[in-house]
Amino acid sequence: MARLRDRERGCPWDLEQTFETIAPYTIEEAYEVADAIDRRDFAHLRDELGDLLLQVVFHARMAEEAGHFAFGDVVTAICDKMVRRHPHVFADASFESAEAQTVNWEALKADERSARGDADTSALAGISRGLPEWQRALKLQQRAARVGFDWPDVNPVFDKLHEEIDEVRAEFTDGADAQRLTDEIGDVLFVCVNLARHAKVDVSHALRHANAKFERRFRRMEAIAMTSGETLAGKPLAEQDALWNRAKAEEKSAG
């Protein structure tokens, strides 16, 4: 990376990059890693982990050029943090359960924030605003649950979901503006995350699975239409629905 960023002999594209321009690639590569894991493609996972590591190296190199820190400092910092946050492994502490360990982990993180001068003592303190919103919703719910603000089981979550969907329907019926619909649909999505949490289902994994299923069936619809020399765009919705049902039935019959 130092060679790529060399002002005289480096790559023009790499030289143009900043923390801001590279950040989206960092996020993208993390999702590529998750996708490879979902598909159990370990050869691809190896490559994607390399791509993700390159992102760390890229940021560290830019930081070193600016005089902030170097890659070695990144490694030292995470090693120190892991030792500090695992006193039951690297020191004499012991915990009676994984839950107790999690409570201690959060307490250590709060101490670290306090040492940095962060005066926020809320149970929700430290949740990054840079997370995908579905993930931030999940973390907000998890933190609230740790202090007892949570439904006792999944049944009230279903009730809440129905309530929020009814509110969205009412807004549509009343001709609500975009802001009202944004607010109400946001409530539905927040409850959906809560439903997944109570079901112990990973939201991202579930949505990736749904996306993959939709893409697979839609592509099959296109393929069926092409066998008759047609395209989906030339068919009315009823015929497209019939193709969707056929693609769906084929999947079920194939197991």
Distances (CA, A) of 172 to 3, 9, 161, 187, 188: 57, 59, 17, 15, 14
Within this chain, do residues 150 and 233 fall inside the same structural domain, yes or no? no
Q: What global pTM score does this model have? A: 0.67
**What range defines the domain where residue 46 resides?**
12-115
Residue 127 falls inside a structural domain: no
User: Residues 6 or more apart from 12 whose CB is under 8 A from it?
Assistant: none
CATH (domain of 38):
1.10.287.1080
Q: What is the pLDDT of residue 68?
A: 98
Q: List, for residues 157-169, the tens digit of each pLDDT value.
A: 999 999 999 999 9
For residue 255, pLDDT over 80 is answered with no
Is residue 184 in a domain?
yes
Instruction: Please report how many Cα atoms fall inside a 13 Å half-sphere around the Cα of residue 128, on the Cβ side.
Output: 6
CA dihedral of residues 242, 245, 249, 250 (deg, nearest 10) = 70
* Domain-located, residue 5: no
SS3 for 148-173 is CCCCCCCHHHHHHHHHHHHHHHHHHH
Q: Single out the residue in 166, 183, 201 at which a domain terminates.
A: 201
My answer on whether 30 and 53 are in the same domain is yes
Quote the number of domains for the chain: 3
